[in-house]
């Protein structure tokens, strides 16, 4: 994992939680029991049982973790839906709850938590086949130029580096897809530092991008608005993830 870990009292402490979505039936049932009425309605809206199971296991375990921070039962965690569909802690948390963000892909869920009110986002995405036109449609001119300069055998790694970094930043901004993906630039070259180099309407230097390598071919990224050091603790799961 490439996230910088700094032993310092001044470091912002982040916790990372990783768990598989293919839970046994009895565990899935227990996790689904934590969901509120709106979450259950959303779960039933999925046509495929695999999608429904992934939602129940991801949200149910997230509620268990947040309940641990808040000292309450998982179903009592006061979750509300933000303007772009992002789960947030409602007023019932009384300012006690952590900042958090959830992502799930490739059969895994990833939750990052940090200090209250920290702008924080995470995204994970395993490699798959992708057409070059996707980058032409969604990436900025600077990103497309950096991607085009890569050797062919690094193109897919560069593409997914950019993708998870941009998605994590959008989630940290709380903007969803309302902010155009080409309104900011991230670096994407494999083995080079991950940086936000341009952010329309904001100061890019106030943001950090920390790449995660969950396993070969399965990148992720944590984005946060903080200029100082960061300390990460993996609370659940272990890296690299099993294949």
Find the domain containing 93 and state its range.
12-236
Cα(89)–Cα(99) distance, integer angstroms:
8
Whether 241 is covered by a domain: the verdict is no
Reading the chain (243 residues) residue by residue, the pLDDT tens digits are: 434 444 445 799 999 999 999 999 999 999 999 999 999 999 999 999 999 999 999 999 999 999 999 999 999 999 988 777 788 898 766 677 899 999 999 999 999 999 999 999 999 999 999 999 999 999 999 999 999 999 999 999 999 999 999 999 999 998 665 788 889 999 999 999 999 999 987 788 899 999 999 999 999 999 999 989 999 999 999 999 998
pLDDT for residue 177: 57
Whether 7 is covered by a domain: the verdict is no
Q: What's the pTM value of the predicted model, to 2 decimals? A: 0.93
H helices present in 83-179, as ranges? 132-138, 141-148, 155-173
Question: What is the count of structural domains for the chain?
Answer: 1
Cα(210)–Cα(222) distance, integer angstroms:
5
- Give the H/E segment covering residue 58: helix 49-70
Q: Which of 184, 129, 179, 182 is nearest to 159 (CA)?
A: 129
Whether 164 is covered by a domain: the verdict is yes
Whether 3 is covered by a domain: the verdict is no
CATH classification at residue 195: 3.90.470.20
Q: Which residues contact 52 (CB under 8 A, 6 or more apart)?
A: 43, 44, 46
pLDDT for residue 8: 45
Strand pairing category for 184-186 and 87-89: unpaired
Whether 243 is covered by a domain: the verdict is no
Which CA distances in Å does 65 have to 1, 17, 120? 22, 9, 17
Whether 242 is covered by a domain: the verdict is no
């Amino acid at each position: 994992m490439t996230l910088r870990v700094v032993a310092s009292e001044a470091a912002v402490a982040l916790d990372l939680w990783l768990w598989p979505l293919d839970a046994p039936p009895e565990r899935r049932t227990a996790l689904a029991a934590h969901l509120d009425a709106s979450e259950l309605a959303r779960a039933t809206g999925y046509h495929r049982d695999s999608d429904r199971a992934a939602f129940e296991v991801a949200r149910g375990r997230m509620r268990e973790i947040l309940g641990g921070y808040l000292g309450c039962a998982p179903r009592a965690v006061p979750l509300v839906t933000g303007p772009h569909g992002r789960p947030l802690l409602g007023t019932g948390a009384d300012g006690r709850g952590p900042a958090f963000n959830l992502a799930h892909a490739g059969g895994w869920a990833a939750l990052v938590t940090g200090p209250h009110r920290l702008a924080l986002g995470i995204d994970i995405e395993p490699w798959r086949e992708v057409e070059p036109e996707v980058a032409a449609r969604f990436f900025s001119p600077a990103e497309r130029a950096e991607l085009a300069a890569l050797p062919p055998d690094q193109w897919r790694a560069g593409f997914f580096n950019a993708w998870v970094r941009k998605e994590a930043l959008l989630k940290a901004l709380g903007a969803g897809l309302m902010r155009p993906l080409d309104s900011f630039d991230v670096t994407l070259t494999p083995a080079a530092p991950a940086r936000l180099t341009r952010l329309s309407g904001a100061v890019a230097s106030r943001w950090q991008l920390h790449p995660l390598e969950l396993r070969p071919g399965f990148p992720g990224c944590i984005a946060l608005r903080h200029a100082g050091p960061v300390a990460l603790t993996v609370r659940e799961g272990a890296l690299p993830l099993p294949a």
